[in-house]
Amino acid sequence: MPATAIKATAIKTNVLRLRTGREVKIDDSPAAIALCQQEIFRSRWTYRRISIEAGVHHGTVQRIATGDTTRPAIASIARILMALGWGLIAREGKSG
């Protein structure tokens, strides 16, 4: 998928779904950041590999994983989670 398509859908999307069907609202909340951190560590991939798969700078992955950034871009969180096996679901209407 082209990077522009991912970026455009990430702005309008707030739900990611794991293969098991579990849905999680993605925003800049501490819970969403903690989920991203958990998935980074669970993957056992290097920050560099995650960054290549997600199309984000490896420093971004490292700062999210270590908690050095408290408000990462939602698009970065979505791209990292998608690279780690999460699927993107777009919903029309208000979130909540």
pLDDT tens digits, one per residue of 54-85: 999 999 999 999 999 888 999 999 999 999 98
- pLDDT for 82 equals 92
Q: Write down how long the chain is.
A: 96
- E-strand ranges in 1-96 read 15-17, 23-25, 87-89
Cα separation, 16 vs 8, in Å, equals 15
Which pair of tokens denotes residue 60?
A: 């971004």
Residue 11 pLDDT exceeds 50: no
Q: Which CATH class is domain 3-89?
A: mainly alpha
Distances (CA, A) of 34 to 62, 76, 91, 92: 13, 14, 23, 26
pLDDT class of 9 with cuts at 50, 70, 90: very low
- pLDDT for 17 equals 61
- pLDDT for 7 equals 40
Q: Give the predicted TM-score (pTM) of the model.
A: 0.74
Domain extent listing, the chain: 3-89
* 81, 71 contact by CB (below 8 A): no
pLDDT class of 93 with cuts at 50, 70, 90: low
- DSSP-assigned beta bridge partners for residue 88: 16
Cα separation, 86 vs 28, in Å, equals 17
The closest of 70, 58, 60 to 32, measured between CA atoms, is: 70
